[in-house]
Structure 1
Amino acid sequence: MDMHIVNRIMNLHAPEWSGEVRSINYSPDGKSVSVTYRVTLYGTDAEIFRESTGTSSVDDVGGYGDPVQKAEAMAFRRACARFGLGLHLYHEEL
């Protein structure tokens, strides 16, 4: 599932939201990078957040973005899924 699709879902269903990278960590052997991302939803009297991580191999240069961008996109999608947003996009049609 593409990050831009999840972003559209967030804007539609939770227009008061923000996201931020909380950490970027490389594995001790330098072969992978992990990103922790936080999504925050703002309500009238409270805010709630969910965090998740995404990991990419530093050798993964195919497709869109560098390994850090790929790990960030994965972490963003997973954090949104922890709110229940976009879960239907993870399942294949029956």
Structure 2
Amino acid sequence: MDHPPPPHDGPPPSGFGGGPPPDGFGGGPPPGVPGGPNGNTTVPPELRLLGASSYLVFTLLSLTANFLLLAVFIKVIRFLYLLKYSILGS
């Protein structure tokens, strides 16, 4: 019931056989072919601005949330502290 090994007609698939793929990623057409990578891969300024503003908004929201959580934590600790001394009567 042993199956015969697969035929070895050509080179191993990209990324196998001990070496890296020819283009470094193992997929897509090579440079210079339509649809392949070219030198015009810069990010437009509008997209950079959108990314920077999104990061800034996320940072500000995160800082605000942390500040509010700290304020709530301080109020809870203070309430427990006052509750402890009101129960003990000291």
Query: Could you tell me the TM-score, scaled by structure 1's length?
Result: 0.22
If asked which structure has higher relative contact order (CA below 8 Å, sep 6+), I would say 1
Structure (1 or 2) with the greater strand fraction: 1
**TM-score, normalized by length of structure 2?**
0.22
